[in-house]
A and B are shown apart, each in its own frame.
Chain A
């Protein structure tokens, strides 16, 4: 209890100057017209992919890292690689960012009839760079951990520190999820499932970090979760055994459910696709929603800026407390979603490896 009180007091002390300074600014400065917040742009700007990595805005000027744009024209304009800051001024080498319509915020080129055509776009976007950074981070962490085992006799020594944490997590995933859900030949699938878990987990965590190199909404992007779900889909269906395929094409149900209208096989085949689809949507929606929630809570501070010092100050405190709470919740969600994705993948793999019941 006393801890809570100390933290609250600390927050008030921390925020008091901010409240005061805003109270001073508001009547004198004529900057209130700038306070108007474009909620759509604020929310979607933070969660969508973009061609540059926006870090902050100082005095109305955006500070961002320009990223390479790689496009291959569909109308015979050839392949182009250029820095994304060229796009700020508008069209560059025939390519521009659409501001509205079907391809809003995407690079488009003009077709012969003047319509907007989407070229093959392999740009290193914010999400791609984020993926790269997080992947390098993950690979380094895991390989450093593996190096410890290469240099020590794990049977004689127990790792401490970071290696110990990694060992704990790897062991937890392997023992609690993989062994239990996959079954006897779990060793074959354990590298994939462990990679999936840690990949999702680190991307979830980095998504919560609000500044570079975190903050990219990677696992809240449908393309990323689609690829992850496809990996699970292919793992399940490529290594599925005879019993798995028999269960789909000729399940143990009364014959009239299979012939002449293959009702059950159709349902089973649909089920083959709904499983990875649910994996994709679950991860995507949970992480995206988490980002929206945090952004929404923080938006309260800016939305109430016009309502006077007292209201704004009070709600700022509320927003910060809520924001801390949401961040803690998102930490939990980051773990839970990685856990759930891995567990369900393991369950689907386990189902595809099930032996026929002898009875």
Chain B
């Protein structure tokens, strides 16, 4: 049967045609397509790899950031604490200083008051002396007018006063 006996002419033509088709497609057809597709596949794989790396880096970055924030917060707390401590110390110091100052001022004031008092007392005493002298004078004058016996007394008083004046000066 002719169906299962290969025809020689067709064999030759088929070999020729298939050979040419194979040559053309193997040279300009399929390698171009498969290489391009391979290139794209490589590119996609590369991109995925890169994306994964970037994601990893981002994750690291955020944890780094967290660490940084934590650190900053700690530092902040420490600074705040320090500030509070130094403030307290300052206030304490100021208080102490103020107390000292106040004490000093008070002391000075006391000293002056004492001095003032003394000088005032001295003035008063002087005044009182003068006053008593004047009073005595007046009394003496009146007594002397009336009684001549009192000259002796006057002399005694004068002596007395002059002696006390000598003592004071």
A residues at B contact (CB < 8 Å): 44, 47-49, 70, 104-106, 120-125, 127-128, 131-132, 135, 138-139, 142-143, 145-146, 149-150, 154-155, 158, 166-167, 170-171, 174, 187, 190-192, 194-195, 198-199, 221-224, 226-228, 231, 288
Minimum CB–CB distance from A321 to chain B (whole Å) comes to: 29
Known: A105-B2, A171-B37. A139 touches B29 (CB 8 A): yes
Of residues 25 to 39 in B, which have CB atoms within 8 Å of A's CB atoms?
25-26, 28-34, 36-37, 39
Known: A170-B34, A195-B21, A231-B18. A221 touches B10 (CB 8 A): yes
B21→A138 contact, CB < 8 A: yes
B2→A146 contact, CB < 8 A: no
A123 CA to B9 CA, complexed, in Å: 7
Complex interface bits, B1-35 against A, C-beta within 8 A gives 1, otherwise 0: 01111111111111101101110111011111110
Complex interface bits, B64-78 against A, C-beta within 8 A gives 1, otherwise 0: 000000000000000
Complex interface bits, B26-56 against A, C-beta within 8 A gives 1, otherwise 0: 1011111110110110010000000000000
Q: What residue of chain B has the Cβ atom nearest to residue A222's Cβ?
A: B6
Chain A CB count within 10 A is highest, among B6, B8, B11, B33, for B33
Q: What are the nearest 10 A-B pairs in CB distance?
A: A191-B26, A154-B36, A223-B6, A146-B32, A149-B36, A142-B29, A223-B10, A155-B43, A121-B9, A227-B14
A222→B4 contact, CB < 8 A: yes
A122→B30 contact, CB < 8 A: no
A170→B30 contact, CB < 8 A: yes
B20→A142 contact, CB < 8 A: no
Q: List 8 A-B contacts (CB under 8 A).
A: A121-B9, A143-B25, A143-B29, A149-B33, A170-B30, A174-B34, A190-B30, A191-B26
Chain B, interface size category, equals: 20 to 34
B residues at A contact (CB < 8 Å): 2-15, 17-18, 20-22, 24-26, 28-34, 36-37, 39-40, 43
A256 CA to B130 CA, complexed, in Å: 167
A128 CA to B33 CA, complexed, in Å: 28
Minimum CB–CB distance from B17 to chain A (whole Å) comes to: 5
Chain B CB count within 10 A is highest, among A48, A120, A158, A223, for A223
Please classify the interface of chain A as helix (H, G, I), strand (E, B), loop, or mixed, using the class held by over half of its residues: helix
Q: Which residues of B contact A227 (CB under 8 A)?
A: 11, 14-15, 18
Q: Which residues of B contact A190 (CB under 8 A)?
A: 30-31, 34
Minimum CB–CB distance from A51 to chain B (whole Å) comes to: 11
A146→B33 contact, CB < 8 A: yes
B17→A135 contact, CB < 8 A: yes
A170 CA to B25 CA, complexed, in Å: 12
A120 CA to B12 CA, complexed, in Å: 11
Minimum CB–CB distance from A323 to chain B (whole Å) comes to: 23
B2→A104 contact, CB < 8 A: yes
Q: What residue of chain A has the Cβ atom nearest to residue B21's Cβ?
A: A135
Minimum CB–CB distance from A261 to chain B (whole Å) comes to: 33
Q: What residue of chain B has the Cβ atom nearest to residue A193's Cβ?
A: B30
Q: Which residues of A contact B11 (CB under 8 A)?
A: 223, 226-227
B14→A131 contact, CB < 8 A: yes
Known: A135-B20, A170-B37. A191 touches B30 (CB 8 A): yes
A197 CA to B30 CA, complexed, in Å: 12
B40→A154 contact, CB < 8 A: yes
Q: Which residues of A contact B30 (CB under 8 A)?
A: 142, 146, 170, 190-191, 194-195
A224 CA to B87 CA, complexed, in Å: 103
Q: Which residues of A contact B33 (CB under 8 A)?
A: 142, 145-146, 149, 166-167, 170
Q: What residue of chain A has the Cβ atom nearest to residue B26's Cβ?
A: A191
Minimum CB–CB distance from B97 to chain A (whole Å) comes to: 78
B28→A146 contact, CB < 8 A: yes
A199 CA to B20 CA, complexed, in Å: 12
B20→A192 contact, CB < 8 A: no
Q: What residue of chain A has the Cβ atom nearest to residue B37's Cβ?
A: A171
B20→A224 contact, CB < 8 A: no
**Given A132-B17, A146-B30, A227-B14, 6 more contacts at CB 8 Å?**
A120-B8, A128-B13, A138-B25, A167-B33, A174-B37, A195-B29
